[in-house]
Homo-oligomer: A and B are copies of this chain.
Amino acid sequence: MPKLDFWYEFASTYSYPAAMRIERLAKEAGVEVAWRPFLLGPIFKGLGWSTSPFNLQAAKGRYMWRDLARLCEDAELPPFRQPRNFPLNSLLAARVALALDDTERPGFSRAAYLVEFSEGEDIGDGEVIAGILSQLGHDADPLLAKAAEQAIKDKLRANTEEAQQLGIFGAPTFVLANGEMFWGNDRLEQALKWAKK
């Protein structure tokens, strides 16, 4: 079965619809997906940026918020809600995602995105993350403790370094086994098509 790495950032608006859509589309296409959370912050810092390009470029930012609302409408997701702060601190969510096993990661990631972008809650807040974990039937406290361990911190750092080495500069990005890279939620279908070439 062809494989695809799904590189996503919990603070990234466009990663949200991709996370909500990828499992159904990949199943239809017969492609196996690995969920790879990483951080864009260190990559943006390498470009000399202190925040998201959507904050640095006002016109691009205004467009993005409207675009996300339309995308959610077209994808039949709940009405998009802009979090009070942007980008939110995604460190905790990414570490928790990596503290979960491969079969639990997608469900947690989707739930976190929904809380962030349809309820507008702050996923940087430990209590919000604990609430998501509990709702999914996880035991929150030991998972939050595991997420704070060095091994998980190292795993996230390694993911982010691998993303940077692959030439990833934004999220979501889909990477095939042969190295072909596709950037953006709107490229998910194309990436799945190329995965089967």
Contact = CB atoms under 8 A, between A and B. Distances in A.
Question: How many monomers of this protein are in the complex?
Answer: 2
Interface of A is mostly: helix
Nearest to A164: B59
Interface residues of A, number: 24
Nearest to A56: B47
Interface string A23-49: 000000000000000000000000100
Contacts of A182: 67
A70 B169 contact: no
A76 interface: no
A190 interface: yes
Interface of A: 47, 57, 59-60, 62-63, 66-67, 70, 74, 167-170, 180-184, 186-187, 190, 193-194
